[in-house]
Structure 1
Amino acid sequence: MMNHQRKVGIILTVSLAAMGLVGCGSDPAADKAGSNGASGKVVKLKFWGAVPEESGPKQAVENWNKAHPDIQVEYVRFVNDESGNTKLETSLIAGGEVDVFVNYRMDKLVKRINANLVEPLDSYIAQAQFDIKDNFGDKAITKFNNKSYYIPAIILNDFVSINKSYLDEAKLPIPTDWTWDQYKDYAVKLTKGQGNDKRWGSFVGNLEPKIYEWMDKTVKTELGPNAFYKDAQTSNLDNPVFKSYLDTMVDMERNLKVQPPYAEAKTSKLQGTSLFLSGKTAMVWNGTAGIRSIKNTKDFPHDFVTAFAPTPKMTSNSKFIGGGTGYLDFVTINANSSKKEAAWEFLKWYVTEGNEPLISSGRVPAWKKVDKEKVAKLVLGDNPEKLFDVESFKRVAFADVEYVNDTEFKNLAEIQKIVDEEGERALIGDKSTADAVGNMKKRADDILAKK
């Protein structure tokens, strides 16, 4: 993995150099003088992130600036898409453009590490005696080249939102730990009616179905990190869990008829949150993004309470929480910054107490010392009992589980496309699930073997 990623990093660096954008490395003398105000001048940092200003970053920066007149921070927003990430990477090399930045995908972060755009944090952590295990847990950071390059700001927990009125009607308890077989049983019991009046028991996905995304999240409960790879040259798509996931979706859609058929959901661009809040589906697998819509009773009027359950596991012995859950918002320092000491001070503050203004938009802090009662109140809003089963939310939001951290991303975009294409053929009935995963395996192996 590292050899391939190193090649990607070299290509990135060479390409940017050809554009005339390669800047000089930081000047240690300037760093020392500028980092602690010893020169008497105000240090100005640029902090790049993808969250809109009004969703918390503006307030976070204002809080810091008010308390630290000697180090003033400016928030710069980039859009978390391909063009936005390219803009960030270009700016990382241009001197003075970026000091601290947030990475929202591990594969993007790995590429930047291997392009020498990310500062190792180990010396800063040691000097500050900042206990990572005590503050975030001993598995919060995945090391590369035996170095720590980031600290996660949040934990993103996917979960299943359930209409509690429908649960009560069916005399079903709120699940606290379940498998896909148990999920299907709930979906059958929660499905009701026919035609336009039909209430679906399940909808997997917030927006129109994305096969790879939800398969990825599911198989990792059983396989853990790097589930799609046996090694850098061979895919793992012949593992039975991939077919098992497709079998589950086919069973719910075509046999049990408890979930909208894939073709209908895609053609109609069905959205899980809209279906759920209009009462058209009893359960939807989404996550904290759905909470914002649940609170928005103006655009989504409803009078039922939403309960929460963890995402289903492949088997009762599955060890992990799936790929949609885990540490995220990887906060890093630009290796080309001339103000690294000041950048570290801001980073350390931001990943602990500093990102509190972002909580209300659903970003639950990874910091272990956060006030969980306060977090629940900020996420769910005032008088949460009117809309939420608060205890079930706290169970899924603060679950003590082992998260999945991937480190292998070779040809990931191509593999995603293959899984979506072949998986779609299985879900619409054009191919058997066995043939679909067989084609996934062959096509992915062919691509991995070429590089």
Structure 2
Amino acid sequence: MNKAKWFTGGLSLLMAAGVTAGCGSSDSGASGSSASPGTASTAAATQAPKKTVQLKMWGGVPAESGPQAVVDAWNKQNPDIQVTYERFVNDDPGNLKLDTALMTGQDADLYVNYTYSRLQKRKESGLALDLSAFKDYNIDEKMGPDAKLWTIDNKYYGLPTKKNLSFIWLNKNALDEAGLPIPPLDWTWDDMKTYAAKLKKDKRWGLLIHESNYMGQVDAATAAIGYTKADGTSNLNNPLASKGFEISFDMMAKDKSMPMYGEQMTSKMPTDTMFLKGEGAMLYAGEFIFRNANNLKDYPRSFKIAFAALPRLSKNETEFKYPAGLGDVVSINAKSPNKEAAWKFLKWYADGGMLPMASGGRLPASKDANVDEAVKLLLAGVETTYDQDSLKKVVFGKFPTFVSTLEQQVIDLRKEEFEKYFLGKQDLKNTLENMAKRHNDFLKQNKK
């Protein structure tokens, strides 16, 4: 009985569908269509429109400095996957904003990590996708051996996309005026201390250090010899680290050739724009400064810029590495519902889609990207405002590099201690001892 009812009802539905299809065919025929009943017109009526995937990428670069041009190019070529860009400032509050978006499920499908510690923390929080799930892209082959520095437990939780390098930006006119040559590649912090003192004027600092590079000289030496000793205990209090802290303090408090730490951090001193205004003769920063240095409309300058490699704390080459390698590590949010689409965009971005970022100093790392084109974009229209010889030797030179692998908790505790020293609240001996003790406590608590 039930089967009979089902059959009768089903037959009625089929007859009704046939009538509807016939009416549709008649209408189509009147408009000149050759579609027959129950074929093309029915398929078109029942096929759901393809849904456009919406992705959001978070990064620290202002949209107008390349990212917007990148997503515009992608969106034009890929109407089925549309990307929008969200800028966050790459500082503690900005990274907190990003982490909140990732954890609370806001739109954040892809995002850029600028330090290993941030990537590690996000991986541990389950917010960075293990990219080994994708088998169609060989990161090591594409990006070279420096990419390995960004692995966590031998896995990639983000794709390094750009060549990374920190160096010393020099006001070439100020050097000439003081009778100082462009420093050699193997100069030391003692040399830079001398340079800074000679270049200092009433309204010009001898040296400015971008906040993100403040521990550069200490990490460059400590990473080369190891953050921990052979016995597994902390090496944060090693003699070279001690020298790095002391020489910075002397330049601030005694020579007065660079701003006091407290003044710089409290006022959020814009060291890059100060350098471009001629308020600093030397600037320790990364290639990201190019985006302002190349913008002569908003940052006009009358001086030529030259470059020096980072100075060493020791003449011994084995006790120094350059904080460089690769950077701008783009991760896919493990909570994103659009992982496949995000991966498709990320591969395109890394292999050349990011080229519009080159004018701001972000040169692609992939072997498949057009590096010559990137260099042209970097220097387009401003070639004569740079010392080409030092630019080639330093910005495009090859150096032994490292990426700091210190956990974020250790970076934070070290900062708490060295701030007391730079603010005059603690002597250097106690500062180093406290760093090592707190690091050792961390190592014991997190022993694997």
Query: What are the superposed Cα offsets for residues 173-230 of structure 1, whole Å, 9 maximum, x if unpaired?
Result: 32341221222233344345xxxx4644323x13xxx5xx545311222232796555
Residue of structure 1 equivalent to 2:191: 182
Unaligned runs of 5+ in 1: 1-38
Query: What are the superposed Cα offsets for residues 81-104 of structure 1, whole Å, 9 maximum, x if unpaired?
Result: 244223332255x7xx44433333
**1:40/1:409 CA distance change after superposition, 3 Å:** same
1-structure distance, mates of 2:402, 2:356: 26
CA contact (8 A) 2:110 2:330 kept: yes
Shift of 1:245: 0.7
Residue 163 (1) aligns with residue 171 (2): yes
Shift of 1:46: 0.8
Paired amino acid for 2:50: K
2:130 corresponds, among 120, 130, 139, to 120
Determine what percentage of the aligned residue pairs are the same residue.
34
Matches within 5 A, 1:64-143: 64-69=74-79, 71-77=80-86, 79-80=88-89, 81-92=94-105, 97-124=107-134, 126=135, 128=136, 130-141=137-148, 142-143=150-151
Matches within 5 A, 1:265-304: 265=264, 270-304=269-303
2-structure distance, mates of 1:102, 1:171: 42
Query: What are the superposed Cα offsets for residues 88-140 of structure 1, whole Å, 9 maximum, x if unpaired?
Result: 32255x7xx4443333332232233234333322352x4x2x34344211231
CA contact (8 A) 1:47 1:99 kept: yes
Query: What are the superposed Cα offsets for residues 227-246 of structure 1, whole Å, 9 maximum, x if unpaired?
Result: 65559995422211221012
1:149 corresponds, among 146, 157, 161, to 157
2-structure distance, mates of 1:398, 1:53: 26
1-structure distance, mates of 2:58, 2:182: 36
CA contact (8 A) 1:78 1:85 kept: no
Residue 311 (1) aligns with residue 310 (2): yes
2-structure distance, mates of 1:342, 1:47: 11
Matched residue count: 392
2-structure distance, mates of 1:147, 1:267: 39
Paired amino acid for 1:190: L
2:431 corresponds, among 420, 436, 439, to 436
**1:60/1:261 CA distance change after superposition, 3 Å:** closer
1-structure distance, mates of 2:298, 2:322: 31
**1:78/1:446 CA distance change after superposition, 3 Å:** same
Unaligned runs of 5+ in 2: 1-47
- Superposed CA RMSD: 3.4
Shift of 1:160: 0.9
Residue of structure 1 equivalent to 2:394: 396
CA contact (8 A) 1:220 1:404 kept: no
CA contact (8 A) 1:161 1:306 kept: yes
Shift of 1:358: 1.8
How does the TM-score come out when normalised to structure 2?
0.75
Shift of 1:265: 5.0
**1:326/1:84 CA distance change after superposition, 3 Å:** farther
Paired amino acid for 1:174: I
Matches within 5 A, 1:365-380: 365-380=364-379
Partner of 1:156, secondary structure, is strand
**1:289/1:353 CA distance change after superposition, 3 Å:** closer
CA contact (8 A) 1:226 1:406 kept: no
2-structure distance, mates of 1:374, 1:445: 48
**1:90/1:373 CA distance change after superposition, 3 Å:** same
CA contact (8 A) 2:290 2:359 kept: no
- Residue range with higher mean Cα deviation, 242-251 or 268-277: 268-277
1-structure distance, mates of 2:218, 2:195: 20
1-structure distance, mates of 2:243, 2:255: 16
**1:306/1:118 CA distance change after superposition, 3 Å:** same
Residue of structure 2 equivalent to 1:10: none
**1:86/1:343 CA distance change after superposition, 3 Å:** closer
2-structure distance, mates of 1:74, 1:306: 36
Residue 44 (1) aligns with residue 49 (2): no
**1:447/1:394 CA distance change after superposition, 3 Å:** same
2-structure distance, mates of 1:176, 1:58: 38
